[in-house]
C-alpha cells in the first residue's frame, strides 16, 4: 500500500486545524488503497495552535506535529515537513482551507500516471480585489523576468512531489529557501492543475505586501545573477551618459559661459547617488546570502515533536 504524506505549515491557525484535519480524513476515506499521514509544522505560533494539535493527535495516530522553537518562516516550515515525511509522495498545502483538500485525489491520479511533480496554479475568484490580482500578476512577471526559472502566474505551494524529488530537495543546503523556484529547477516530469482559491476559513492572511516583496527578492536572488548584471549595465550606461556632458563643459569653458542651475546639479547628484545605493543594495543582498550560507546555521530548530 502506497503512503501519502500531507505537510501543513501552521502559524496562528488554531481556528482552522480541526476543519482541515476533518476534510483530509474525509478525502482518504474515499481512497482506501492509500495510507496517509498528516504532518503539521507549528511555525512558532503565538495562539493555541500547539495545544490544538496535541488535542487532535491524542485521538488520531495519523497526525504528527513538529513544533519550532520560534517562527522560521513558511518556506522553512514546509521544508521541515518534507524532511520528516516518509511517504511515497508528499503533498504540501496551507492550513487555512484556501487549498481545497478535495483536489488531493486528482493530484494522486496524475502522480499515478507517471508525473513526479503535480503543482497547482491558483485562479482568483471574482470577490478578489483588483489590486490583489494585479500585484500578484506583477510579482510573477518580475520573478520570471529576473530569475532563471519560469513560474506561471498563480503558482502556489499546493503541490505533490514524488519521493525521488523530495530526496533531491532534502540534499540542498540552501539557507534562503524558495520552494516554488526550487521545484521548477530540479526538473523531473511535471504537470499543473488549475484551482480556484477559497476564502480563508478563519484568521487573516500572514502575507503582507512587505513580506511579498521580500519573498520576491528571495526568489530572484536564489536563482539568478541577472540583478548583478543589471547593476553593471546601469553603471556602464550612466558612465556613457556622463561623457555626453563633456562637450557642453568644454563649450562653456571656451566661451566663459557661467554654469548656473544649482537645482539641476543637486537633482543629478541625488539621482546618481540613488543609483549607486541601488547597486550597493543588490550587492549587499547577495553578500548577505553568502554570509548566511557560510555560517551553516540550521534552517529551523525543533522544540518538540510527537514521532
Q: What confidence score (pLDDT) does residue 5 get?
A: 94
Pairing of strands 63-68, 190-196: unpaired
pTM comes to 0.71
Q: What confidence score (pLDDT) does residue 6 get?
A: 94
Residue 197: what are its φ and ψ, rounded to 5°? -70, 130
Pairing of strands 117-123, 63-68: unpaired
pLDDT in tens, the chain (307 residues): 899 999 999 998 888 898 888 899 989 988 888 999 999 999 988 888 999 998 888 888 889 999 999 998 888 999 999 999 988 999 999 888 888 899 999 999 999 999 999 988 887 766 666 666 666 666 666 666 666 667 677 677 899 999 999 989 888 877 777 888 788 888 889 998 887 776 655 555 555 556 666 666 666 666 666 666 666 666 667 666 666 666 666 666 666 655 555 545 656 666 666 677 677 767 777 776 676 667 667 888 999 988 8
Distance separating alpha carbons of residues 27 and 144, to the nearest angstrom: 35
3: burial class by Cβ within 10 Å (0-12, 13-18, 19+)?
A: middle
Contacts of 2 by beta carbon, 8 Å cutoff, 6+ apart: 33, 34, 35, 87, 88, 89
Distance separating alpha carbons of residues 76 and 218, to the nearest angstrom: 13
Q: What confidence score (pLDDT) does residue 98 get?
A: 85
Distance separating alpha carbons of residues 287 and 282, to the nearest angstrom: 9
Amino acid at each position: 500500500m502506497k503512503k501519502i504524506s500531507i505537510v501543513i505549515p501552521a502559524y496562528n491557525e488554531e481556528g482552522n486545524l480541526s476543519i482541515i484535519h476533518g476534510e483530509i480524513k474525509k478525502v482518504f476515506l474515499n481512497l482506501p488503497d492509500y495510507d496517509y499521514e498528516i504532518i503539521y509544522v507549528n511555525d512558532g505560533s503565538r495562539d493555541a495552535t500547539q495545544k490544538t494539535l496535541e488535542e487532535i493527535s491524542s485521538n488520531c495516530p495519523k497526525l504528527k506535529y513538529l513544533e519550532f522553537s520560534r517562527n522560521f518562516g513558511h518556506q522553512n516550515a514546509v521544508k521541515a515537513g518534507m524532511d520528516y515525511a516518509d511517504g511515497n509522495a508528499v503533498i504540501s498545502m496551507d492550513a487555512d482551507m484556501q487549498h481545497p483538500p478535495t483536489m488531493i485525489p486528482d493530484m494522486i491520479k496524475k502522480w499515478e500516471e507517471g508525473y513526479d511533480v503535480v503543482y497547482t496554479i491558483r485562479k482568483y475568484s471574482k470577490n478578489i480585489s483588483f489590486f490583489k490580482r494585479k500585484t500578484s500578476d506583477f510579482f510573477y512577471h518580475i520573478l520570471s523576468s529576473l530569475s532563471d526559472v519560469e513560474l506561471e502566474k498563480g503558482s502556489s505551494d499546493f503541490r505533490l512531489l514524488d519521493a525521488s524529488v523530495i530526496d533531491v530537495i532534502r540534499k540542498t543546503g540552501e539557507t534562503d529557501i524558495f520552494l516554488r523556484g526550487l521545484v521548477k529547477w530540479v526538473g523531473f516530469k511535471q504537470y499543473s492543475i488549475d484551482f480556484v482559491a477559497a476564502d480563508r476559513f478563519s484568521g487573516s492572511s500572514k502575507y503582507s505586501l512587505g513580506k511579498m516583496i521580500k519573498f520576491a527578492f528571495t526568489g530572484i536572488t536564489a536563482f539568478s545573477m541577472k540583478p548583478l548584471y543589471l547593476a553593471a549595465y546601469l553603471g556602464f550606461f550612466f558612465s556613457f551618459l556622463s561623457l555626453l556632458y563633456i562637450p557642453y563643459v568644454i563649450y562653456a569653458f571656451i566661451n566663459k559661459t557661467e554654469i548656473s542651475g544649482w537645482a539641476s546639479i543637486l537633482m543629478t547628484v541625488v539621482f546618481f547617488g540613488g543609483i549607486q545605493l541601488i547597486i550597493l543594495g543588490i550587492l549587499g543582498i547577495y553578500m548577505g546570502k553568502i554570509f548566511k550560507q557560510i555560517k551553516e546555521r540550521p534552517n529551523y530548530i525543533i522544540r518538540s515533536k510527537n514521532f
